[in-house]
Amino acid sequence: MSLFLGCTSAEHAEDTEIYARVGEAKAYPLVNLSKELVRSAKQETDASQIIQKLANLSRDQLAEELDSDAAKKAFFINVYNGFVQHILMNNPEKFDDRGAFFSTEQITIAGEKLSLDDIEHGIIRGSKVKWSLGMIQDPFADDFEKTFRVVKTDGRIHFALNCGAKSCPYIAIYDATKIDEQLDIIAHQFLNRSSTYQAEEEKVYVTSLFSWFRGDFDGLDGVKDYLRRYEVIPEDADPELEFKEYDWTLELGNYTELDVKANKTTSSH
């Protein structure tokens, strides 16, 4: 049986049940708006109206809808990926200075000016300090960040965020009611595409994301648990980790569609 398709723990099963109950009871129009942002990027159509709607959202309205980690992750992963694609399609030279690209406040959500770093590290990762390997939570988070940040850091988000580089995961569209399954699927896809297991060397070559954000994966032993869970290495294997060099070449337009029902992905470029 494929490990990533089923629950790996009682906690995972409980989370999935919670997501299902939430989905039955609630619609997510603002998450749907974030999905439209990604679709417009994929279709290379004008997103100015969508961007304006995101900027003009009421903070109270947004907080009312994003009342779970599932909804927060779906909304802000879509926002991050959609804006990266639109910004770099229009101004690819911004990627020449990646530090400025990620740290500049160039996105407005519910009246709040945000950087890509604010969205990734402050909100989606739950106020993690960027250069702390995922070990330290920022004690100086502002009120907006505290309102919208996820409660429990989820390492799988690193396999869903696309910053415009060649080594990044493919872009999918995430739904608040399906995101737990979707993140499992994208994690399986990305890790099996980007990892190389050499049994004879007792080594596994993996993405540098595991090194940079190791705290989000519960340390290096936790990294191996992820590799076992998503079928990169056998259950009884304990190989040495080797981190691949990240290819920062600008590469836009890498999309994938997640088929939750069939538990598979199809990619497009």
Q: Are 25 and 68 in contact (CB under 8 A)?
A: no
Q: Are 34 and 74 in contact (CB under 8 A)?
A: yes
The count of structural domains within the chain is 1
Buried b / exposed e along 153-183 (16+ C-beta atoms within 10 A): bbbbbbbbbbbbbebbbbbbbbbbbbbbbbb
- Alpha-carbon 260 to chain mean position: 17
Percent of the chain with pLDDT strictly greater than 90:
86
- Mean pLDDT value across residues 244-248: 98
What is the per-residue pLDDT for 18?
43
* pLDDT tops 80 at residue 111: yes
* pLDDT tops 80 at residue 21: no
Nearest CA among 202, 203, 213 for reference residue 246:
213
**pLDDT for 138-186, tens place per residue?**
999 999 999 999 999 999 999 999 999 999 999 999 999 999 999 999 9
Distance between CA 197 and CA 195 in Å, rounded?
A: 7
Expressed as residue numbers, the domain containing 109 is: 3-268
What is the per-residue pLDDT for 27?
87
Distance between CA 199 and CA 204 in Å, rounded?
A: 8
- Other beta carbons within 10 Å of 243: 15
- Mean pLDDT value across residues 242-249: 98
DSSP-derived pairing of the beta strands 240-243 and 203-206: parallel
What is the per-residue pLDDT for 17?
44
What is the per-residue pLDDT for 261?
76
Which residues, other chains included, contact 109 with Cβ-Cβ below 8 Å and sequence gap of 6+? 54, 55, 57, 62, 79
